[in-house]
Amino acid sequence: MKLSTYLKDKLYAFLIFVVYIIILILFLIALKLTSSIIIFITVFTVVIFSLILLYDYFRKRKFYNELLDKLNTLDKKYLLIEMLLEPNFLEGKILYDVLDEVNKNEHDLISKLKKRQDDFKEYIELWIHEVKLPLASLTLMNRKDKSTLRVLKELEDYVEQILYYVRCENANNDYLIKEWDLDTIIKNVALRNKDDLLALNIDFKVDNCNLKVLTDSKWLEFIINQIVSNSIKYKKDKDAFIEITGKDYKNYITITIYDNGKGISKSDLPRVFNETFTGANGRIASSKSTGMGLYLCRELCEKLGHKIEIDSKIDEYTKVIITIYKKDFYNVTKK
């Protein structure tokens, strides 16, 4: 709070004081006091008034400056009241009490909303697990009908997306970081997609994936499966292939998933990890995209401490690189 701003706010007080000084001087003159006494009383009154204003300004400035500074620096604005000391002037106390009451009400509202959200998530997870049973039964019943199996697999993938999306915010409660065999994870992905790979005549290549990766197998399998599913969905009409390559570096391992499919346009590429972004391919595909697959891949990679990057050229290729750091990397960064 600037002194000029404070003084402008006190303009009414100055006007009243000026009127008071004029009346005081006229009263002293009427009493026939000497000019020196009149000047002394006038100056003394002005000094006292100025000291009162300055004292009021400085005690208020400390509180309001602290209020604004903390408001600008806090990420969670609702914690503002908890960071302030109660002021020693009336207007500040009123403001402090109002903020405190608003803060309490907001905490109550957040608690209710969080409980409602948790209940909804719990219901969705339960619903998904219930849906998986009839889906598995339908898969067994139609195991000889390839077209029906493809539809059921696509439906199962969408159901799984919903499950991971619901769990995404609390993913740390659902994963276990340890060393897993990368080739086993990739074999599981290949098995999940084998019917599509065979039916669509897509060559699935795996190179140098006999590696140990520090991750959670379930989450990484989901991430790779989402990328492979996209490669299948946007495959080339002829001679289509998907190639997964592992590379072992000093502090990290990379998994590169490369396909020679339709590719992604230059304008769409910066936004492919955005939530619900479908892009040109997703809008024209025979099966419309939800735009959630790559978004979930990025979110889960961040929570696992991995890095995901994508490069593509329209009608030529798409390349996704997942970087998984080793124990030595985390040990060095902690020092």
pLDDT digits (tens, 9 = 90+) for 57-107: 888 888 888 787 777 777 777 667 766 777 777 887 888 888 888 888 888
**What is the model's pLDDT at position 185?**
95
Are residues 102 and 179 located together in one domain of the fold?
Answer: no
On whether residue 213 sits in a domain, the answer given is yes
DSSP-assigned letters across all residues of 282-296: HHHSSS---S-HHHH
3-state secondary structure of 250: coil
**What is the model's pLDDT at position 176?**
80
Contacts of residue 134, defined as CB under 8 A and 6 or more positions apart, other chains included, come to none
Look at residues 106, 138, 164 and tell me which one is the last residue of a structural domain: 106
Pick from 295, 55, 68, 263: nearest CA to 165: 295
Query: Taking a C-beta distance cutoff of 8 angstroms, is the pair 217, 182 a contact?
Result: no
Structure tokens belonging to residue 119: 């209940």
On whether residue 111 sits in a domain, the answer given is no
3-state secondary structure of 157: helix
Look at residues 55, 87, 106 and tell me which one is the last residue of a structural domain: 106
3-state secondary structure of 171: helix
CATH number of the domain residue 294 falls in:
3.30.565.10
Find where tokens 């030529």 sit: 316
Percent of the chain scored above 70 by pLDDT? Answer: 90
**What is the model's pLDDT at position 179?**
92
Cα separation, 269 vs 224, whole angstroms: 19
Find where tokens 């006190």 sit: 10
Are residues 298 and 206 located together in one domain of the fold?
Answer: yes
Pick from 35, 42, 36: nearest CA to 17: 42
Amino acid at 282: G
3-state secondary structure of 213: strand
On whether residue 136 sits in a domain, the answer given is no
Query: What beta strand segments (E) does 83-228 contain?
Result: 178-181, 203-207, 212-215
What is the per-residue pLDDT across 207-247, written as a single tens digit (0 to 9) for each?
999 999 999 999 999 999 999 999 998 998 889 999 999 99
On whether residue 167 sits in a domain, the answer given is no
Are residues 211 and 329 located together in one domain of the fold?
Answer: yes
Look at residues 61, 81, 106 and tell me which one is the last residue of a structural domain: 106
Amino acid at 279: G
Output DSSP code: residue 106.
H
Rg of the chain over CA atoms, in angstroms? 34
Range of the domain at 80: 3-106
On whether residue 155 sits in a domain, the answer given is no
Are residues 307 and 182 located together in one domain of the fold?
Answer: yes
What is the pTM for the complete model shown? 0.66
Are residues 84 and 182 located together in one domain of the fold?
Answer: no
Cα separation, 91 vs 100, whole angstroms: 14
- What is the arrangement of strands in the sheet containing 317-325, beginning at the earlier edge strand? 203-207, 241-248, 252-259, 317-325, 307-313
Query: Taking a C-beta distance cutoff of 8 angstroms, is the pair 261, 235 a contact?
Result: yes
On whether residue 10 sits in a domain, the answer given is yes
On whether residue 214 sits in a domain, the answer given is yes
**What is the model's pLDDT at position 335?**
41
**What is the model's pLDDT at position 172?**
55
Q: Which residues of the chain have pLDDT under 70?
A: 1, 78-79, 82-83, 169-174, 279-290, 328-335
Query: Taking a C-beta distance cutoff of 8 angstroms, is the pair 210, 216 a contact?
Result: no
First vs last Cα of the chain: how many Å apart?
A: 43
